[in-house]
Amino acid sequence: MRKEISALDLYYIVQELQEIVSGKIDRIFHPGEKELLLQVHIPNKGKKMLYFTGSFLYFTNNKPEMDKPSGFCSFLRKRLENARIKEVKQIGFERILEIVFSLKEGEMSLIFEFMPPRNIILVEKGNILSAAEYREFSDRVIKPNEIYKSPTSKVNIFEITLNRIEEILEKSDRESIVKCLAMEFGLGGMYSEEVIFLSGIEKDKKPIEINEMQKENLLKAIVELKNKKIDPKIVYENSKVKEVIPFFMKRYEEFETKSVESYSEVFRIVLDELREQIAEGELTKKYEEKIEKKKKILEEQQRRMIDLELEMEENSKKGNFIYENYQKVKETLEVAKKGELKDMNKKEKSVVVEL
């Protein structure tokens, strides 16, 4: 399964997020440095919790464990709690989500950047108020009082034309059309493969080799993807999750699939399952480490016991030997005290006695 959402994934998710428009922020939580949980009260629907994990975004029913609020979280609570959501939108064809809030004093935007290094940024009238992480890039700065600038992609799939497709293919130096679609069109691997299926083009074909009819087929396939009705599914292979998809895809027609109510729900189910597996794995690993540590201690103690038993046996032999020759040893020591022994080494304080 993918490790993060693509720009096209975000496009489909934003369609589902329209249900929180007009909702009011009840509470804000900051589970991790690049994570945020928004608790929203939606009129006539009740409470919804929107969870931004840095790589994914979905509705959840469970709050992750959290320490006391961070400074960033406290700042957001002060500014946005009780604010009403006016708009939810994607910025261009980017992995950037903007939630616009209405307040008494005007509007503010909370911007979620899904592309690495990922960030959460609070903006008012175009100016940055605060962010989960302050950064400087070659073309933009994420710091308070700076104007917020989003990175811009070379291609906007939502506005793609046949002429633009021709221009990109002519300039591309990618070794295959599928890689060109993934990297230069910004579709990512999964959607690039689907465009190839829909257009009937060999995926290993070089971009420069695509003919006019195939270029038209590419445009039709891209438009078809954009206009597809959301019908999310989980794809399984050998009873394990292989992928999550927003609708039926030809490339997965031979796989087992399970329909889910919403695309956000797909990510929640799969990621919660993976999180449980990871947690179980970490717990197992901790126990295994403890057991291994105890084993090493036990082995060391067993070795020490063997050494002590050998030492006791040797000392017992010495003791028995001395006991058996006690009278001779006693007489030798008395003579040694008088300094009358020839084989006595006064420097080392030793006596050689032949018994």
DSSP code per residue over 262-289: -HHHHHHHHHHHHHHHHHHHHHHHHHHH
Rounded Cα distance, 241 and 234, in Å:
7
Rounded Cα distance, 177 and 38, in Å:
40
For the chain, give every residue range classified as CATH 2.30.310.10.
7-142
Most confident of 191-200, 294-303, 329-338, 345-354: 191-200
pLDDT in tens, 173-194: 999 999 999 999 989 899 999 9
The alpha carbon dihedral of 73, 78, 79, 85 has a sign of positive
For the chain, give every residue range classified as CATH 1.10.8.50.
158-265
Per-residue pLDDT for 324 more than 90? no
Tokens for 217? 């087929």
pLDDT band at 232 (very low <50, low <70, confident <90, very high): very high
Region 311-335: mean pLDDT is: 71
pLDDT in tens, 131-151: 999 999 988 999 999 999 998
Contact in structure between 95 and 57 (CB atoms under 8 Å): no
Region 217-245: mean pLDDT is: 91
pLDDT in tens, 271-282: 776 665 544 444
pLDDT in tens, 116-127: 999 999 999 999
Rounded Cα distance, 226 and 9, in Å:
10
Q: What is the CATH number of domain 7-142?
A: 2.30.310.10
Region 281-301: mean pLDDT is: 57
Q: What is the pLDDT of residue 18?
A: 95
Region 79-84: mean pLDDT is: 94
Angle at which helices 7-17 and 263-324 pack, to 10 degrees? 110
Q: What is the pLDDT of residue 128?
A: 97
Per-residue pLDDT for 343 more than 60? no
Quickly tell me which residue has 């300039």 as its tokens: 171
Per-residue pLDDT for 346 more than 70? no
Contact in structure between 12 and 61 (CB atoms under 8 Å): no
pLDDT in tens, 23-49: 999 999 998 888 999 999 999 889 999
Tokens for 281? 């794995």
pLDDT band at 351 (very low <50, low <70, confident <90, very high): low
Please state the separation of Cα 241 from the chain's center in Å: 17
Q: What is the pLDDT of residue 341?
A: 53
Q: What is the pLDDT of residue 181?
A: 94
* Amino acid making up residue 65: E
Which of 18, 9, 56, 16 has the alpha carbon at shortest distance from 36?
56
Q: What is the pLDDT of residue 292?
A: 64
Q: What is the pLDDT of residue 336?
A: 62
Percent of the chain with pLDDT over 70: 82
Computed over every residue of the chain, the mean pLDDT equals: 85
Contacts of 39 (CB under 8 A, 6+ apart): 25, 26, 27, 28, 29, 47, 48, 49
Contact in structure between 81 and 66 (CB atoms under 8 Å): no
pLDDT band at 354 (very low <50, low <70, confident <90, very high): low
CB atoms inside a 10 Å sphere around CB 201: 22
Q: What is the pLDDT of residue 205?
A: 95
Q: Report the DSSP beta bridge partners of residue 120.
A: 112
* CATH for 158-265 (1.10.8.50, 3.30.460.80, 3.30.450.20, 3.40.50.300): 1.10.8.50
Q: Residue ranges of the alpha helices (H) in 99-233?
A: 162-171, 177-183, 188-199, 212-227
Per-residue pLDDT for 202 more than 60? yes
Contact in structure between 218 and 161 (CB atoms under 8 Å): no
Rounded Cα distance, 335 and 330, in Å:
9
Q: Report the DSSP beta bridge partners of residue 141.
A: 136
Q: What is the pLDDT of residue 281?
A: 45
